[in-house]
C-alpha cells in the first residue's frame, strides 16, 4: 500500500511524466491534457491523470532530490503498476558544447551519494536509463524535428549555485563518464526502475551554465520547457 499517494488503483496511468514542481504538474495538466482529474495531493505533491491525443497519461510531481523522487517513483512502480516514467526537469551545464535552453536526453546518471547502497546494499554510482524509452524519445524527436543532446549527467545532493566552489565537485567527477551537467533526481529514478524491472528516462532543459553567463526571461524558460514537455508527451503516445 502506498504511504504517500492517495490515488485509487486504476487512477494512475501506466505511463507517467514527472516534473519536480507540483505547480508544473498542474500547468501541464491544464495546458496539454484533456479530461484530466486530480488524483493525488498528499503533501501537496499533485498528480493528474488525463488524456493526451487520446492516450492516458499521469503527470505527477516528484519533489526535489533523490530521496523524494525515490519514494514517489517506487510507489508508482510497486503499487500502481506503472511501467514507464519520464522525468522532465531542468539542469545546469558544465561543458561548452551545452547551451542554455538545450534539451538533454540523459543516457547515464552518476552520483557520489549512497542511494543505491541504502536501497539494496550494493555499491553503485553509475546507472543507465532505459534504452527502450530513449529509443522512442529519440525517434519522436526526429519526427518532430526537435533538436536535443544526449549525454550523461551528475545527480547531486546540493544545488550547484549553493556550493562554495562548484569546480571542486566538477573536478572530482570521473572523466571517463563524460558528464555534461548536473541535476538532482535522475540517479534515484533510474536505479529504482532497474530494481523493480521497470523503465525510466529523463529529459532536461538547460536552465543555466557554469561556462556561459546567460540570463533567461521567464517567457524563455516557459517556452523551452514547453518544447520538452511536448516531446515527452508525443513519445508517450508510442508506449
Active-site pick, 21, 107, 128, 208: 208
208 catalytically annotated: yes
Is the CB of residue 3 less than 8 Å from the CB of residue 75?
yes
- Classify 18 as helix, strand or coil: strand
C-alpha distances (whole Å) from 231 to each of 146, 156, 171, 237 are 8, 25, 33, 10
CA dist., res. 68 & res. 235, Å (int): 25
CB atoms within 10 A of CB 150: 15
Residue 93, SS3? Answer: strand
Backbone angles phi, psi at 46, to 5 degrees: -65, 140
**In 3D, which of 82, 114, 108 has the Cα closest to residue 197?**
82
Interacting residues of 155 by C-beta distance below 8 A, sequence separation 6+: 66, 109, 110, 111, 113, 182, 183, 184, 185, 186, 187, 188
For residue 229, the tally of other CB atoms under 10 A from its CB is: 22
3-state secondary structure 113-157: CCHHHHHHCCCCCEEECCHHHHHHHHHHHHHHCCCCEEEEEEECC
187: helix, strand or coil: helix
Cite the active site residues: 208
Amino acid at each position: 500500500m502506498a504511504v504517500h499517494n492517495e490515488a485509487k488503483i486504476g487512477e494512475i496511468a501506466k505511463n507517467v511524466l514527472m516534473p519536480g514542481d507540483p505547480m508544473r504538474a498542474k500547468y501541464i495538466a491544464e495546458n496539454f491534457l484533456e479530461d484530466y482529474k486530480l488524483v493525488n495531493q498528499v503533501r501537496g505533491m499533485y498528480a493528474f491523470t488525463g488524456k493526451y491525443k487520446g492516450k492516458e497519461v499521469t503527470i505527477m510531481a516528484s519533489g526535489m532530490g533523490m530521496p523524494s523522487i525515490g519514494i514517489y517513483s517506487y510507489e508508482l512502480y510497486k503499487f500502481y503498476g506503472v511501467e514507464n516514467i519520464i522525468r522532465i526537469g531542468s539542469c545546469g551545464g558544465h561543458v561548452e558544447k551545452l547551451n542554455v535552453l538545450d534539451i538533454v536526453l540523459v543516457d547515464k546518471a552518476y552520483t557520489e551519494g549512497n542511494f543505491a547502497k541504502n536501497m539494496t546494499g550494493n555499491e553503485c554510482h553509475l546507472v543507465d536509463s532505459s534504452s527502450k524509452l530513449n529509443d522512442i524519445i529519440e525517434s519522436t524527436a526526429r519526427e518532430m524535428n526537435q533538436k536535443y543532446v544526449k549525454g550523461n549527467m551528475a545527480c547531486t545532493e546540493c544545488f550547484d549555485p549553493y556550493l562554495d566552489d562548484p569546480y571542486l565537485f566538477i573536478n572530482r567527477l570521473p572523466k571517463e563518464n563524460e558528464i555534461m551537467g548536473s541535476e538532482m533526481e535522475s540517479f534515484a529514478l533510474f536505479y529504482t526502475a532497474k530494481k523493480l524491472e521497470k523503465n525510466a528516462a529523463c529529459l532536461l532543459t538547460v536552465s543555466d551554465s557554469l561556462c556561459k553567463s546567460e540570463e533567461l526571461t521567464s517567457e524563455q524558460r516557459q517556452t523551452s520547457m514547453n518544447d520538452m514537455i511536448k516531446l515527452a508527451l508525443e513519445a508517450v503516445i508510442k508506449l
